Structures are given as structure tokens and as C-alpha cells.
Structure 1
Amino acid sequence: IGNSQNENDLRVYGRISANSNWVELTGVTIDVEGNTSDGVGCITITNQNALLWGKPEFVEFQTIPTNGAYHLESFVMNNENYLFISNSYKQATTSYSTDSKLYKWNGSQFSHQQSIATHLATDSQFFEINGEYYLAVSNQYNGSTYEIDSYAYKWNNTSFTEFQTFASYGGMDWEFFIMDGLEYLGLINHRTDSDYNAPNIIYQWANNTLVEYQSIPGSGSSDMEFFIINDEKYIAVANLYTSTTSNEQDSFIYKWNGSLFTKIQSISTNGANDWESLQIGDLTFLIASNSQSNSTKLVDSKIYKWNGTSFVEFQSIATQGAYDSKSFVIDGETYLVFANSANDSTQDNRPSPLYKWNGKTFVQTQTIYTNGAYFWDNFTIDGKNYLAVANNATDATSDINSTIYKWTGNSQFILTSDSLDNTFFDISTIVDQTAQEDSSITNINFTVTSGTSPITITASSSDTGIVSNENITITGSGGSYTISISPIDNASGFVSININAIDANGITAT
């Protein structure tokens, strides 16, 4: 669908097959509020009914085993795509000292490239200076002290090797930025062993190393965000927790005065874990991810808008223990996703919402279910858009998968008269799953699209010697379902689980 120069003139194009040319169609009427049980809208083309099908969304693409994943960092080196995952805790060894891992895109998915020893790693920051590649990794806690070093690593064309050591205090976040041709790296320190007043440090690149440039007071700080408005430079610092056991405290905005950052605004936050800056046209927004008040994790996160002199509240988003937000643009549309880590009772299967800017406000367009989500990252490979989440933990364990999702692309119209099979009745894709012997796989989300109610869903195992049909459980309704699988004791191997759906008209989907 394309708009002509007249914004009120909507043109519709069609093609016979995926390989044929698109041609403009005539005699078209559109009802986007139409039969949504069969799609996300309906259309009439010369008296033939058609459906707006394939609503653009993110679908599961790859899972990666992680150990208390806290952060993901996607980047490109020498035209190769990489993903670094900061792991914080390994349940199997009950240890905060666990490797964080670098993955490389192999043409079809990410594969493991390198492991780096870390201690409750909370963040990483990739940056380039003078054609050299670096990766800073923050360590927060080794099981006995928060006063441990964090490191910057340098790429040697095959792996990252230790380059510089930084004294850190519950290291929480890195932020790399460039001002007036000079490179800076900010380090957020969350706490010392005795209190939450650890200073935050900004380093400047000089003489082939990073040297301390400015110290900024901290209050259980968690994040730093650099941004520019009308050529003026700013940083926002999120404060999570104080020594007086309070999550309800101010976070701060600082402005560059030519030599230092100085405080210009205080914003009341509730356990702020992250700041995200966002530019849409001539509008500048700042998003605070609030994780909890003193009494509940069910607190709103806030979107603030720059009014020319300060940030004012613009929109409130209902969140559950929000740890992060991420903004990105696809096909000229701006999106914003929140990482909901937990409500007041569970981390399991939490709805992390995706919002889209409609020209006036952010409206929810998709829900992605996550487990203790701590961070999102968006990236593009070969023209395809991906969204990755760091799943920190379920209620039972931190040794769980983090997930990469792939954007399905734009919607298309499909003629109903050409759909004599199950074109409009479909089960979403579930990527391959891996489990240790005698361990269950639980709460795998999938959707059943369309179909005439009632819909009957069954599942069967290709090898009942590994997984019996009785040990497959499906729950859910209204198109959203979960499947849990328990293998037979001491059994191992590969097995396919087939999910079948039959609607009231006898149409099937597999």
C-alpha cells in the first residue's frame, strides 16, 4: 500500500505471485476495522473479498542459553555482526563469577565466538577510536565485594583482549559519546560495600588511554544516557536506590557548559533503572524505566518531552518492574519497547509491551512475553530487523534462554477467493528448544491466528520414548497459548513435537 502525493489518496497494488510485478488495482474499498477475526482488516477488490494479513510484528527467531543475562550489545566490526551478552549469575554453580559471551553472525544465526570471565556483569559498551575496536564490560559483585575492577578490552582481529582496568564500585553501566571531536566514556557505579553513594566517573580519551575527567555524585545510580538537543549536550543519570532504603528518589539531568556537566533538572523517579533518549522530528523525549516504588513493582514508567527549557511529563506507561526501554525505527515508523522484569509475585512469562508512535502518542502494538527481562537491543542484518531480549531469570532459575526476535515485515492483502486451504488459519513458529536431561521445558509461547471458534488444540510427540504425549501440556485461550514439555526420566535425544489446531469448520493448521 502506498500513499500518493495527496495524503487522502490511498493506492492499493497487487500481484499474482511473489515473483510477479506489482500493479495498481482499481475498484478498491478498505475497512481497517473489518472482520478482525479473519485478519487485521478487510478489503474489497472488484467485488472479491480479501483480508489484510500478516500484521507486521516480531516473531521468535533464535534462543541463546544465558546465565542471568543482564545486558546485550550488538555491534559491527569489519562488516561482521556481533552480539555480546553480559551474564550475571550461574544457577548451576550458584556463582556470580560466570563467563559473559561474544557471539558472531554466521549468515543465518549467532554462534559462540569468545567467553570473557566476569563477575555479575551488568553492562557492556562497544566503541571505536582511531580505527580500533573496544568493548567495556562492567563487573558489579563477585560474591564477597562490590569494590571490584571493571575492564575495557581491545579487539586484536580474532578476539577481545584486556586493555585497561577501571576501579569500580558495583559497576552498573557504560556510556560512550563524542563531544567536539573528543571521545568520552562514562562509568556508572551503583554502590560500595557500605553505602550507595559511589561516584559516577566520566573518562576522556587522551594519549591512547582513558583518563578520569569528571566525577558526578551518585545515589545508587543505574544508568547514564548522553543526548544532544539543538547542538547542546546533556546526560541523564538514573538513580535506583539510596542508602536510606528508598526507591522513591530523584534522577538528574546535566548540561555541558563547555568544560563540565552541571545539574539543570531533577525528576522524581521510582527505582529508575534506565534512561532512553528519543528524537522524533523536532520533538525530543526522555523515557524513564521505573522498576519499583517502596511498596510495589507495578509502577508506571514515564515519557518526558523537552519544552525548550526542561523535560515535562508527556505520557505514562503501565509497567511491571521495568528495567529498560529501547526505541528504534523501522520503515520510517518509531517504536518503543519496555523490558518488564517482574510483578510483585513472579518473573515468569511477563508481558513486555511494544509501542508505536502514531503521530501524537505511543500506542501499544504487540506484547512479547519474557522471563525477568532486563534489557532490549535492536539491530539490522542484511536489511532485516531484529529485537533481542536479555532474560535474567524465571522464579526457579537464572540459567534460561535469552531470545532474538525477527520483524515479519509489512502487511499484505490476500484474496479470500484464492484461499481454499488454511491460508488464514495458522500456528506461529516455535524455534528449536534445548534442555538438560531430566529437565522440563516450560511456558513456550505460541499463537493460533484466526480460525472459527471453538478451536481444538492437540500435541503429539515423534518419539514417545523421549517425550510421551501425556507429558505435553497446552494451556491458554483467545489465540494465545503456552506449551510445556517434560521428558521421560533418563531419556535423551531429538524429538519433534507436533501441534495441531482444528477450528469449528474443520480447517486444520499444524
Structure 2
Amino acid sequence: ITSSGASGMEFFSRGGKNYLMVSNFLSDMDEQPDSETKSYLFEAAIMANTFHGIRRQSFKTQGAHGVEHDGDFVAIPNFYGPHVDVYSWKDDKLQLLQSLPSNGAAAVEFFHIESKIMLAVAEFNLGEVAVYELNATLEQFVPKLKLPAPGVAALAAVTLPEDNNKVLLLTACYNSGEDGFHLESPIYLHNGSEFTHVQSIATVGAHDVEVLTTDDNRVFAFYANDKDEKSVEKKSELFEWTNGKMISVQTIDTEGAHGANFFRHDGLYFLAVANYGDRETKEVVRWSPVYTLDLNIPRLELVQQLYTIKATDFEAFQLQGRTFLTVANEKSHKGRMALTPVWEMITKPDNDEL
């Protein structure tokens, strides 16, 4: 799949069809890339036993910094634009429903509180998380509250089945300006009536946070630490929610980690980490690792490394019982439009190794 300045990807199904949405941060101009570009919706299909991405729609975006889907809605944060665009399905197409005012929107996250559909926006320039609630009568998202999170760049929400379905809202804080890259990334818990701060995680230029809920309701969180003032060679960290707080399980070496994605294959859990590399030195060709998560220890074990260029995000999905993994490569070697490769995960029949 061709992309241009890809910053995020989201797979979802709708009306019997499968889709892959790609948000593009910058245009494909070599010397002076433009943040006013287009993001694309692809139909994902298997034809002649091979994966195909067929472009179905395009959307004008301004530094789109990710994409999220929930039911009838798709949201795109425009980092360099004045709004977050929320789309809804109509006549088998995504059409603009609403533009929410924002200032440096770095990420969005849908989640549910009981029957309510919520949307959180990471307001990087403002150092806060803006939380909206869908008004079903108006068919509009209306502002509900704001939560402090200096330097917030990413969000993740997870329901706690073992704790009366309370909702955790995790933040990944990148750079607050005043305090640099070494920050405390707050975690908020919705107790049924309001959000309260329950914990802060020490992070270093955190560019993403991803969560996983296992079949037996264990909850894990992975923080992708990008860089500090000196280097992109950092430790990213895996946590498990235990007794009301996140407990560190393991750190792994990463090189400009921009994103990550938990997924499953053949009953096992995996984590793919997108290593962007070093933007300053332009050393951006990297191996991005894929780990299996051993729940018994628990521990991440390296399975494979994938060749990537300015990798910003991973997205795994299943089609016809087959597991695919794709990476958002921001650029090619020379700044031209990048190819977004799609891999298939298979089990080797000779020794059952992945």
C-alpha cells in the first residue's frame, strides 16, 4: 500500500466489508513536506490468496497524527490543524459529522462508560486530555471535562472486568517544554461517577501507550519511549495492572519507539514495536521487533525483527482466519512516497515455530 508521511493505521469491519484507514502526517514533497495532505481509507480484501488494499476514500487532513474507530465513528486528530475531525457512516461512506476544536491534537481514543460513547483527545499544546461524550439526540460529541497531562502524545483506555467494569484512561507524555522529555504520564480511573488520578508512570519521551486484556482478564500496558535530549536509544516498558496499580514487568531496548500494537495469533499474544530511528541524524532505517508475550512469567520474548523506515505505528488484523501485520512507514529512503508493507504471520509446519 502506498502512503505519504504515514502516522497511524486502524483496521475495522463494517457492513460485511473490511477496511484499513491510514492517517498521513506529511505530504510526499522531498525538501519541504506539507502538513496539508490527504489520509486514505482502503478496503482490505484477499484476492487470489493475496492481501490487497483498495483505495475507497480520501480525506483532507493537516498533520494527521493517528486514527481511531468505534462503531459508526472514525476520528482523526489534526496536529497542525485547529480541529479533530469526526466522521460517521452514511450511504456506505464516511462523511464528516463534526469538527472538534483542538490545539495540537496528538491522539484520540474512543471508550465506553456503561452505554455512553466517549472520545478523549490528547491536547499536546495545552497539556491536557479533553473528554467528550456522544449526545445521541443531537448526534454530536459534547465536551465533558479536561484532565491534566503535560506533554500528552498518546492515549489508551481499558475496561477492568475484575473491578466492576471501571475504566482506566492511560496517557503517554512526550515533551512538556518546561520539563523536557522526562515526565510523569498520569493514569486516570473512572469509578462510575468521575475520573480520579490513581498513578503516574515515569516515561522518557513517551510517544505511545498500548493496552491488552487477556482471556482471563489480566490487563497489560506498554509504553513506547521515543527519546530524550541525548539519544533515541531508550528503554520501553511493559506493565501489568495488579492490586489497583500498574506494576513494571519488563523493559526492552528500543530505538526511537513511536508506536506499538498487541495482537493474537494461534492463541498466543504478541507485541510489535515500531522503531522510528533518529530524526536528527537521519538514521531511520531500523529493525522493528515482534515479541511473543509469555503470560506465565510474564515476559516478552523476541520472535522476529522487521525491516522498517521511519516506522510510526503497527496494526495487526485478521482476514479469513489469517493474521496480518502492517507498519506505517513515514517515508522512503529519499523522502518519496513510502510503501506500507503487509506481512502475514504463519506457523511453520515442520517444527510449529512462529
CA distance in 2, matches of 1:302, 1:308: 19
Q: What code does the residue aligned with 1:74 have?
A: F
User: What displacement does 1:188 show?
Assistant: 1.1
Residue 126 in structure 1 maps to residue 57 in structure 2: no
1:100-179 matched pairs, under 5 angstroms: 100-108=39-47, 109-128=52-71, 133-141=72-80, 148-179=82-113
Q: What code does the residue aligned with 2:210 have?
A: E
User: What displacement does 1:308 show?
Assistant: 0.6
Runs (5+) with no aligned partner, structure 2: none
Specify the alignment match of 1:369 in structure 2.
307
| Residues 261 and 315 in structure 2, CA contact (< 8 A), matched pair in contact too | yes
| Residues 149 and 186 in structure 2, CA contact (< 8 A), matched pair in contact too | no
CA distance in 1, matches of 2:134, 2:84: 17
In the superposition, relative to structure 1, how do residues 217 and 237 fare at CA in structure 2: closer, same or farther (>3 Å)?
A: same
Residue 353 in structure 1 maps to residue 276 in structure 2: no
SS at match of 1:406: strand
Specify the alignment match of 2:241 in structure 1.
306
CA distance in 1, matches of 2:230, 2:349: 43
CA distance in 1, matches of 2:351, 2:224: 37
TM-score (norm 1): 0.63
User: What displacement does 1:274 show?
Assistant: 1.1
In the superposition, relative to structure 1, how do residues 274 and 220 fare at CA in structure 2: closer, same or farther (>3 Å)?
A: same
CA distance in 2, matches of 1:149, 1:307: 37
| Residues 90 and 398 in structure 1, CA contact (< 8 A), matched pair in contact too | no
1:331-410 matched pairs, under 5 angstroms: 331-343=266-278, 345-358=281-294, 359-360=296-297, 361-394=299-332, 396-397=334-335, 399-410=337-348
| Residues 347 and 371 in structure 1, CA contact (< 8 A), matched pair in contact too | no
Specify the alignment match of 1:182 in structure 2.
116
| Residues 326 and 341 in structure 2, CA contact (< 8 A), matched pair in contact too | yes
TM-score (norm 2): 0.90
CA distance in 1, matches of 2:348, 2:274: 24
CA distance in 2, matches of 1:117, 1:153: 12
Q: Which segments of structure 1 move beyond 6 Å, counting only runs of 4 or more?
A: none
Query: Which stretch shifts more, 315-324 or 300-309?
Result: 300-309
Which structure: larger Rg?
1
Specify the alignment match of 1:81 in structure 2.
18
CA distance in 2, matches of 1:201, 1:269: 21
CA distance in 2, matches of 1:364, 1:413: 17
Q: What code does the residue aligned with 2:266 have?
A: D
Q: What code does the residue aligned with 1:172 have?
A: A
Identity %: 24
Residue 272 in structure 1 maps to residue 206 in structure 2: yes
SS at match of 1:299: strand
CA distance in 2, matches of 1:103, 1:200: 30
CA distance in 1, matches of 2:243, 2:88: 40
| Residues 89 and 96 in structure 1, CA contact (< 8 A), matched pair in contact too | yes
Q: Deviations over 1:259-293 (max 9, x none)?
A: 22111111110001111112343532211100012
Instruction: State which of 129, 138, 142 in structure 2 corresponds to 1:200.
Output: 129
Q: What code does the residue aligned with 1:201 have?
A: A
User: What displacement does 1:309 show?
Assistant: 2.5
CA distance in 2, matches of 1:395, 1:210: 41
User: What displacement does 1:398 show?
Assistant: 5.5
Runs (5+) with no aligned partner, structure 1: 1-63, 143-147, 192-196, 415-510
Instruction: State which of 157, 160, 171 in structure 2 corresponds to 1:226.
Output: 157
Q: Deviations over 1:354-399 (max 9, x none)?
A: 0012332111010001011111111111111111110012463152
In the superposition, relative to structure 1, how do residues 118 and 316 fare at CA in structure 2: closer, same or farther (>3 Å)?
A: same
In the superposition, relative to structure 1, how do residues 354 and 164 fare at CA in structure 2: closer, same or farther (>3 Å)?
A: same
Specify the alignment match of 1:213 in structure 2.
144
| Residues 297 and 321 in structure 1, CA contact (< 8 A), matched pair in contact too | yes
| Residues 223 and 275 in structure 1, CA contact (< 8 A), matched pair in contact too | yes
CA distance in 1, matches of 2:260, 2:351: 32
User: What displacement does 1:317 show?
Assistant: 0.6
